Structure 1
Amino acid sequence: MPRKVIEASTAVAEAVKFCKPAVIPMYPITPQTHIVERISEFINDGDLDSEMIHVESEHSALSAAIGSSATGVRTYTATASQGLALMHEVLFVASGMRLPIVMNVANRALSAPINIWNDHSDSMAARDSSWIQLYVESAQEAFDTTIQAFKIAENKKVLLPIMVCLDGFTLSHVYEPVDLPQQSKVNGYLPKYKPSNILDVKKPVSLGPIGYPDSFMHFKKAQQDAMDNALKIIKKSNSEFKTRFKRSYGNGLIETYNLKGAKFAIVCAGSICGTTRVAVDELRKQGIKVGLIKIKCFRPFPKEDIIAACKKLTGVAVIDRAVSFGFEGPMFTDLKAAIFNEKKKPLIHSFIAGLGGRDVTKNDMLTIFKKISKTKKPITEWLLD
């Protein structure tokens, strides 16, 4: 495998090239732009045989992706922030029609005030749209997960669209070493897409027709069942990827770091997991037993894996880079709900951090570990200083 030092956005574009989507509807938006620019260069240079559709908005980009996927071809797009917000109406159409579209989201804050920097408010606002959501920590993981996403989405037991989320600028514009495999190895892992129900003039069907009250709930239950199936398929895809490429990310749903013997842990997602690892290493050298639980898959939420990871912990700090206004952090809410019925469970603390690109530093992590190790009451705090 050749190893190259490339931008994470380029790593994503390389992954897309390896997966060979037939149609790529695109509308550029910061900080997603480098992804689509690089893909367009691949197409222009003849390295990728795909049809890129230049549309007038993100709403149109996803609408075109829906039409493309409905005809039975592998389809990809990408967006960020206000672009994802503009897509919101049709997110539900893509998932409701069971279309395995893969979309990278270069996570960026939602305005107002206008902000082009990173947090998770854009994708977290779409968490109930029946899209699978996977969050990545590094350029290599962004590359690997984008390839895995096509395999997961196109599985007959899933058939749901997927967002692969990478932190805008903090990761999307960072250069890191990335191992790029041979095309033949990717072909062996990701077979050609074989759709079942498609728009075909020779065999006319209606896709996405009106759902009457006697059938609508059955469609929604089928989507929920597909989400449940995805938990197993994500694990399986991660395991198969490890066999072929010698890399994996926990079990594909969560990844733990130095959790053995730990009393306290931080739960987070995205690039700040790397910062947390550094803090964990520093405290471990001091004999303080702490660890990391990285949420790789946020939807479907890996309830059983979270329960198992938290079983022996005394305290857990959940760091959210988004907030559900009027309540609390989305990951914090879900983690609390996951362990609610357990007889033995840790004290759960909520920290809102890194909104609008504010740095979340190693010292922040050290401070959080210090706070949760000294209290017997739950903490809810915004890291503002």
Structure 2
Amino acid sequence: MMPQEKVMSGNYAAAYAAKLARAEVIPAYPITPQTSIVEKLSNFIADGELNAKMIDVESEHSAMAACISASSMGARTFTATSSHGLSLMHELLIWASGARLPIVMAEVSRAMAPPWNVWADHLDVIAERDTGWIQVFCESNQEVLDSILMLYRLCEMEDIMLPAMAIMDAFILSHTLVPVSIPDQESVDRFLPDFRLDLPIETGKRMVVGSVAKPDQYMEFRYKMALAMDKAAGRIPEVEEEFDRSFGRSYGGMIEEYRCEDADHILITNGSTVSTARYAVNLLREEGKKVGLCKLRVFRPFPAEEIQKVISDAASVGVLDRSFTFGHGGAIFSEVRSACYR
């Protein structure tokens, strides 16, 4: 079968991705601007297009608790949230990664109140960078769909087994309609095999879950998580190469370089801002200025070596953040500066 092209929002692209991935359990709580993701998935289920269980809960904290339960039993699990909803999940984000559960979440990045602001800002996501989740920022609606499929493929690998967020900017992507290529189900099934958990929780079977670990044992668990995150950095380009062979699209792996080969000045940014930055680079090139763009696609694990390499010959580097760490500065800027001196 051939892929279909439909005009849709970033939110619908996320919903189609979860459908194509054959998500089995979808716990969710609505919050602007992600609500239409789970509404669309509810429609898919009601219309018989997706064989999944939608769990309507009373809060985002409960949504992640249900995700943990479902994934622990071996179900491919999906959810979506935004802003204060993500913050309410914080405690259980750490549990999900510590339990090594490959949950995939669409996160529509939105400003935190006060004052109330439902538009794009990365503070909600940046505040969760240390929870052990893989974080991928998407530039376009197409990248939202593709990234969710690739994240399921990555996260369910036996030596990774970590949760992940596919992040899109509020309204700029979530509610803007553009053409998106939707792969056929047969091709996705070949790319993404069924999820099988080695040791799922089973009803009626006695098991010990979440027991106490002494400090030395606890350190071992955290060390293994760190190793898995490091391995993910190597596997992300591999998964993308496989995706490219299957569907003819790729996004550069951890970062994407744009006109950086001879650039004297390089701008680093992420999310939907990349599209504007790409246009600005083209205009500056027409003026004879050697400017390049480094798209930071993956924020966790952070691509320090890749960034070192791309900016090594530049005379100047600019970093454009969509968040601010109070008392320290921009989060991406801090990470890039740290990468320069590793």
Task: State the TM bucket, normalised to the shorter chain.
Answer: over 0.9
Q: Distance in 1 between matches of 2:311 and 2:270?
A: 16
Q: Distance in 1 between matches of 2:260 and 2:124?
A: 30
After superposition, where does 1:199-348 map in structure 2 within 5 Å?
A: 199-201=201-203, 203-250=205-252, 252-341=253-342
Q: Distance in 1 between matches of 2:310 and 2:244?
A: 21
After superposition, where does 1:50-69 map in structure 2 within 5 Å?
A: 50-69=52-71
Q: Distance in 1 between matches of 2:30 and 2:297?
A: 26
- Which stretch has the larger CA shift, 203-212 or 190-199? 203-212
Q: Normalized against structure 1, the TM-score is what?
A: 0.87
Alignment check: 8 A CA contact 1:199 1:206 kept = no
Q: Which amino acid aligns with 1:21?
A: A
> 1:202 offset after TM fit, Å?
5.8
Q: Which runs of 5+ in 2 are unaligned?
A: none
Alignment check: 8 A CA contact 1:146 1:164 kept = yes
After superposition, where does 1:38-117 map in structure 2 within 5 Å?
A: 38-117=40-119
Q: Which runs of 5+ in 1 are unaligned?
A: 342-385
Q: Which residue is equivalent to 2:187?
A: 185
> 1:112 offset after TM fit, Å?
1.3
Q: Which amino acid aligns with 1:93?
A: W
Select which of 124, 127, 142 maps to 1:125: 127
| 3-state SS of 2:179 partner | strand
Q: Which residue is equivalent to 1:33?
A: 35
Q: Deviations over 1:289-313 (max 9, x none)?
A: 1011001100000111111111111
| 3-state SS of 2:320 partner | strand
> 1:51 offset after TM fit, Å?
0.1
Q: Distance in 1 between matches of 2:276 and 2:122?
A: 17
Q: Normalized against structure 2, the TM-score is what?
A: 0.98
Over aligned residue pairs, what C-alpha RMSD do you find? 0.9
| 3-state SS of 2:166 partner | strand
Q: Distance in 2 between matches of 1:7 and 1:172?
A: 6
Q: Distance in 1 between matches of 2:161 and 2:210?
A: 15
Alignment check: 8 A CA contact 1:97 1:207 kept = no
| 3-state SS of 1:3 partner | strand
Q: Which residue is equivalent to 1:24?
A: 26
Q: Deviations over 1:139-185 (max 9, x none)?
A: 10001001111111101111000011000101100111111111010
Q: Which residue is equivalent to 2:174?
A: 172
Q: Which amino acid aligns with 2:230?
A: D
Q: Distance in 1 between matches of 2:311 and 2:193?
A: 37
Q: Distance in 2 between matches of 1:160 and 1:204?
A: 25
Q: Which amino acid aligns with 1:290?
A: V
For this pair of structures, how many residues does the alignment match?
Answer: 340
Q: Distance in 2 between matches of 1:331 and 1:212?
A: 35
- Sequence identity (%): 44
Q: Distance in 2 between matches of 1:201 and 1:181?
A: 36
Alignment check: 8 A CA contact 1:59 1:86 kept = yes
Q: Deviations over 1:11-55 (max 9, x none)?
A: 111111000111000100000011111111001100000000000
> 1:7 offset after TM fit, Å?
1.3
